[in-house]
Amino acid sequence: MSYLDTILQSRRDTRHFTKDAVPDAVIEKALQAGHLAPSVGLTDATRYYLIQSDAVKKAVKELFIDYDRKAAGQTDNPQQKEQYQNLKLEAIEEAPVGLVICYDRSVLNNFTIGTVGSNESIKFSAVCAAQNIWLSLTEQGYSMGWVSILNYFDFKKLLGLPEHIEPLGYFCIGKPASDYDNQPMLQQLNWKQKAAKPSVAVIDGISESNSLEQDLISQDTTSKETKIKETLQYKIDHKTKPTGSLGVLETLAKQIGVLFQTTEPHISQPNIVVFAADHGIAQHGVSAYPQDVTRQMVTNFLEGGAAINVFCKQNGIRLSIVDAGVNYDFPPNAKLISAKTDKGTQSFLSGPAMSKSQLGFCFAKGTQIVAGIAKTGSNCVGFGEMGIGNTSTASVLMSVLCGFPIEDCVGKGTGVNDEKLQFKREILRKAINDYKGGDDLDSKLAYFGGFEIIQMAAGMLEAHHNQMLILIDGFIATVAYLIAFMKNPDLKNNAVFSHCSAEQAHQKLLDYLGAKAILQLDLRLGEGTGCAVVFPIIQSALVFLNEMASFESAGVSNK
């Protein structure tokens, strides 16, 4: 065995340190090793910050403790929770030296070789640097421990890091006080065992599968559905009320009972997903707000300050936020689902908004996100969006997919004035007239689509596949539904249209789809707010079906 192999095997994520000081020469040699690590496009985007101040260490420790409590609360298994709480996961105050390893997003403002496929390659370069530092310290008789259980937003604020500097985490450096029986600490403590060998698979052919965008057509269950429909209708009609007197609530109760194939349906783990992305068409002044508002609102969602946050909290709905393609690299955040296709679409005034491969990526990611939600036990998912310029994108999609004049599909969006509305119509009409692409659905979607709209459509198809109730928000979410419906018309069995938007084209689109909205509240905010607001009405439909007395059980005479 070579000396290098020995170093690789003895490198440990260390949590126990002696009180020995770390000589400057050791730190300098280790950081030089980090500097020698691979750096995509020779960007030199990795940044280092040394911490020896007790006050700073104490403040970082408090951030860790706060998130550590939240981490412990993620398991309902008492034994696992106790075992987790007994683990030593940091040595922030004990270690002589603290190191924050970061990467600098601002390098992406210039043409950067190697980042076209993924901006995250600069982050991966920083991880390579961290590993080099770890190996250098190990070779010198010292070690390092990676602390990642932190609120990174607060962590950056505490350290005064600029917005464009993103930390990988906090690293504790010192002389190790234990070799953990020459194995990873978590393995030594029987938390989890590391696989003996790496996972390796050989790919020797090109995949021809088109399963990412396949239509999710349910099996024929006509006879079974007929029986459950008749049983539900009988149950509804024999509640202590005049026939049909609960109106839309009766319609909802029957729809959900048929969907879940039960006469006693219940909503489990309801979840609203907000997909956010930027649009190239926004560069042409079609919105009353600047594009950066997309990024600002996603941050607002993550911090709990938006309308959708308070409505979800009010109604006990879980909220998921997805970066489908925002023109910004968000700091790592456990509350943010990363599905970034690109930093916004291209402007469809000058060419396709996205490539066919990006379209496929959107379908794959939307499917994956909702499949993950279904695995949590959720049977109800609502769809919302955020993206400056996306009413323009939705309007064009409605026009080209339904054959309506663009004038019938364009509204004021975020609140443009009449003059800008006319400008918006003209610029979108030009984009449609200049289209020279194919007449098939996917060609139109790639040319005029938005990342968040396509991911929503894919998510709806996956929700149908999992027999979930689908809550549709306003105009833009309904355009996403239109796309999904064109791929699988059976989607209508799952869909509840929460409200009719104040956006003028929404009612026309609902009529085109043969759909009826539950509420008329002049909403035009987006974010999935309509889904959250309509949720108590859905619950009322199920409560009357499941708990209201029948004529027989109450001893009340039927007509």
Contact of 288 with 414, CB cutoff 8 Å: yes
Task: Please tell me the predicted confidence (pLDDT) of residue 249.
Answer: 95
Q: What CATH number is attached to the domain comprising 48? A: 3.40.109.10
Name 274's bridge partners. 321, 384
Task: Please tell me the predicted confidence (pLDDT) of residue 24.
Answer: 97
pLDDT band at 554 (very low <50, low <70, confident <90, very high): low
Task: Please tell me the predicted confidence (pLDDT) of residue 431.
Answer: 92
Instruction: Find the catalytic residue in 264, 385, 527, 552.
Output: 527
- Is-above-0.75 flag for pTM? no
Give mean pLDDT, residues 311-339.
94
Give mean pLDDT, residues 295-324.
96
Task: Please tell me the predicted confidence (pLDDT) of residue 116.
Answer: 67
Task: Please tell me the predicted confidence (pLDDT) of residue 9.
Answer: 85
Query: Same domain, yes or no, for 7 and 121?
Result: yes
Is residue 435 situated within a structural domain?
yes
Alpha helices in 245-380 (DSSP H): 248-260, 292-303, 307-315, 356-375
Report strand pairing: 380-386 vs 469-472. Answer: parallel
Q: What is the pLDDT of residues 175-226, one digit of tens each?
A: 999 988 888 877 777 777 777 788 788 888 876 644 443 433 344 445 677 8
Single out the residue in 167, 189, 211 at which a domain terminates. 189
Query: Taking the CA of residue 386 as centre, how many other CA atoms within 13 Å lie in the half-sphere pointing to its CB?
Result: 28
527 is catalytic: yes
Is residue 334 situated within a structural domain?
yes
Query: Same domain, yes or no, for 291 and 382?
Result: yes
Is residue 553 situated within a structural domain?
no
Contact of 121 with 152, CB cutoff 8 Å: no
What letter would DSSP give residue 344?
S
Single out the residue in 158, 189, 220 at which a domain terminates. 189
Query: Same domain, yes or no, for 304 and 415?
Result: yes
Q: What is the mean pLDDT of the chain?
A: 90
Q: Which helix (H) or strand (E) holds 158?
A: helix 152-159
Name 384's bridge partners. 274
Does residue 504 have a pLDDT over 90? no
Query: Same domain, yes or no, for 185 and 308?
Result: no
> Per mean pLDDT, which range of 7-16, 226-235, 405-414, 548-557 is the poorest?
548-557
Is residue 109 situated within a structural domain?
yes
The percentage of the chain sitting over the pLDDT mark of 70, rounded to a whole number, equals 94
Task: Please tell me the predicted confidence (pLDDT) of residue 334.
Answer: 85
Q: What is the pLDDT of residues 125-181, one digit of tens each?
A: 999 999 999 999 999 999 999 999 998 888 999 999 998 899 999 999 999 999 888
What letter would DSSP give residue 140?
T
Report the C-alpha gap between 227 and 222 in whole angstroms. Answer: 9
> Per mean pLDDT, which range of 11-15, 371-375, 421-425 is the poorest?
421-425
Query: Same domain, yes or no, for 308 and 442?
Result: yes
Domain span at 532:
267-536
Give mean pLDDT, residues 288-293.
85
* Overall number of domains in the chain: 2
Query: Same domain, yes or no, for 317 and 403?
Result: yes
Single out the residue in 169, 189, 209 at which a domain terminates. 189
Task: Please tell me the predicted confidence (pLDDT) of residue 556.
Answer: 66
Query: Same domain, yes or no, for 173 and 273?
Result: no
Task: Please tell me the predicted confidence (pLDDT) of residue 186.
Answer: 79
Nearest to 143 by CA among 168, 188, 180: 180
Token pair for residue 497?
A: 């249209």
Report the C-alpha gap between 315 and 318 in whole angstroms. Answer: 9
Task: Please tell me the predicted confidence (pLDDT) of residue 215.
Answer: 39
Q: What CATH number is attached to the domain comprising 465? A: 3.40.50.10210
Contact of 132 with 39, CB cutoff 8 Å: no
Task: Please tell me the predicted confidence (pLDDT) of residue 441.
Answer: 96
Query: Same domain, yes or no, for 284 and 396?
Result: yes
Q: DSSP string covering 422-434, please? A: HHHHHHHHHHHHT
